[in-house]
Amino acid sequence: MNLFAYLLVGGLSLAWANPIVVTYPKDTPSSVLEDAKNSVINAGGRITHEYQLIKGFSADAPESAVQQISAQSAQYSPTIEKDMSVSIQS
């Protein structure tokens, strides 16, 4: 596959992805977090940042990954929010 075709296919696969932030309670085991990140990657998304001070990450993820993450752990329920810029100026 030539470079142009690779970039085109890669761009199309992320075009339908949602920029999200996923966070978990601080007592969540690392394995739950890893399962969520693997769900994003296996669905064709990508992890864009892994947080150090909180249990969480940001990603470009298709809706199927968002739904799977929401349903994966009943005990450690994630908060999933749209990732966007925030400003204090109006």
Per-residue pLDDT of the chain (90 residues; tens, 9 = 90+): 454 444 444 444 444 579 999 999 999 999 999 999 999 999 999 999 999 999 999 999 999 999 999 999 889 999 999 998 888 987
Output the pLDDT for position 73: 86
Output the pLDDT for position 86: 84
CATH number for position 24 = 3.30.70.80
Residue 90 lies in a domain: no
Domain of 17 in residue numbering reads as: 3-82
Output the pLDDT for position 89: 85
How far, in Å, CA of 3 to CA of 25, rounded?
Answer: 41
Residue 58 lies in a domain: yes
Give Cβ neighbours of residue 65 (< 8 Å, ≥ 6 apart).
39, 40, 42, 43, 45, 59
How far, in Å, CA of 55 to CA of 26, rounded?
Answer: 6
Residue 88 lies in a domain: no
